Amino acid sequence: TKADITEVKAFAKPAPAVRITMEGVCIMLDEKPDWPTAKKVLGDSQFLNNLKTYDKDNIPEPTIKKLQKYIREYLSGHERYINDENMQVAVVERVSTAAKGLCVWLHAMNVYHKVAKGIGPKRELLAQANAQLEDAMQVHEKCHFAYMRSWKMLELKAKRERSNNTSGLLTGPEYSSDD
């Protein structure tokens, strides 16, 4: 919220957890990761909107690598420190509930990037499969149209033959009663 942003911005000398959280935010916004820059970023009237509309599908690899230097992750139930334990959500929350939301956002962007990176190749395969399906459906549609046109032509031919048969009897060797 705006009140949370105002609270974080009001820190003259923020606690390490708040400072590191804001450095992470600056990294994600491609800004210099320091407190004076963080205060400037927090003062931007579009700050919250920039976070909400952040292009999470295209986070540059160098950006995420810089962020991951700060984040403490939990992998398969085991803690792993990447660099700084002050980037833990619980640690940030003890210092500032306002900064907690920003820390959660950073962790979410990191997790999203990892998941999207794993899903990316699968999305590409899905797109290729959908393109092949579309091609096959177009071929099927053309074949079905040709089949229906041929069927209609055979029906018309049969009608003409029946109407041309003046005796009302079917003629031809297949209708012959000679056994």
Residue 1's contacts (CB-CB under 8 Å, 6 or more residues apart) are 48
pTM: 0.64
Angstrom distance (rounded) from CA 55 to CA 20: 22
Query: Could you give the dihedral angle defined by the CA atoms of residues 25, 1, 114 and 54, in that order, rounded to the nearest 10 degrees?
Result: -70
58-78 residue pLDDT tens: 999 999 988 887 775 544 444
Mean pLDDT score, 12-39: 93
For residue 1, give the nearest of 41, 48, 44, 42 by alpha carbon.
48
